[in-house]
Amino acid sequence: MKFKKIITLSIGIPLLLGGCMNLHGEHDKKMTAEERQKQFEKEHYARIQEYTGQGLKLDGGTQTAGVAKAHHDEIEKAVKKFFLDKYKTKVKVHNIVGALRAATVFVESEGEPHFHTYAVVPIDLQTKKVLTDKVFSQEGQVEDAIKSGIYAMIFDQELKKLDDYLDKTVKKEPIIGIRQEAVNNLKTAGFTTSYYYITMADNSFDEVYLKYLKDPNKSKENWKKELKHTEIDPKSFYVTIHLYMEKPNTEPDKTIFNRIVKNIENMEGLAPGLYSVFLHDNTISKRAGSNSKDNTLRRTDPNDIIKK
């Protein structure tokens, strides 16, 4: 179930940057590789401060992007109805991206429980018709997003402690989170902020989800009374923190990273869960909406920080 921690909708582009043969020796070959690396970075990566989700590409999207754009209003209306009918939840549509024989629609819930997720609207390529009566979601995706949002309602004060710490840290250190526009346009993990997201590791909140469908307007106070004092397995929830270096062409700082990890290890009063920390350089993949470079500093599975 660990794969649920980091949700992406497309496969990152491999770095096809092998050396090439020429007649000018090893030095020239090395320079050529460096130049190709720089060109690749320029084309496929953006500075984290500037990235709002533009350039996200999904498999098969080139064939359907135009259809999705032409039927934007129709798709938006169908997706809103889908979430209201099936999940008893009002959503805002932030982004519609062409995918394989479909449009993928990125949404944010209105009010609480608060979460980001997505739905899929099939497209008939032969007729260029949008099949708005066949909207669907990936199995368990929206359900887990709702559970994540309810978890955040129950542990709002504990998460505020994490929020306050991360806010102070990015003001003090040369690091930064992702822009809110990017969160809205491409994140699907559930409860998500500029610094972290919360995902489910198992089915322990299934009954909570069913209760939500029966009473989607239940207040935060009532959720807390009902669930906060029940025994919650911290291994059921992942809190995944992603931070980026503020300045371009800067390697992730090991001193800053180790300090953040140590502070979270020592911090009391956090929400129960398995905490991971990632510190990236200043870039993010335009296509995948993530950074998975080799230089990223990681504290994660199988060595997550456990908070009970």
Cis peptide before 14 (omega within 30 of 0): no
Give me the pLDDT at residue 206, please.
94
Query: Which tokens go with 92?
Result: 């805002």
Give me the pLDDT at residue 8, please.
40
* pLDDT tens sequence across 51-67: 998 878 899 999 999 99
| CATH numeric code, 61-138 | 3.10.450
Helices (H) then strands (E): counts for the chain: 9, 13
Give me the pLDDT at residue 287, please.
84
Write down the pTM of the prediction.
Answer: 0.87
Query: Which tokens go with 282?
Result: 């200043």
Whether the per-residue pLDDT at 279 is higher than 80: the answer is yes
Whether the per-residue pLDDT at 255 is higher than 80: the answer is yes
> Beta-carbon neighbour count of residue 41 at 10 Å?
15
Query: Which tokens go with 144?
Result: 């887990």
Domain boundaries, the chain: 61-138, 143-307
* pLDDT tens sequence across 112-142: 999 999 999 999 999 999 999 999 999 999 9
Place of tokens 């549509």: 93
- What residues contact 257, with CB distance under 8 A and at least 6 apart? 277, 279, 297, 299
Summarize the confidence of residues 105-109 as an average pLDDT. Answer: 98
Summarize the confidence of residues 216-226 as an average pLDDT. Answer: 93
pLDDT band at 30 (very low <50, low <70, confident <90, very high): low
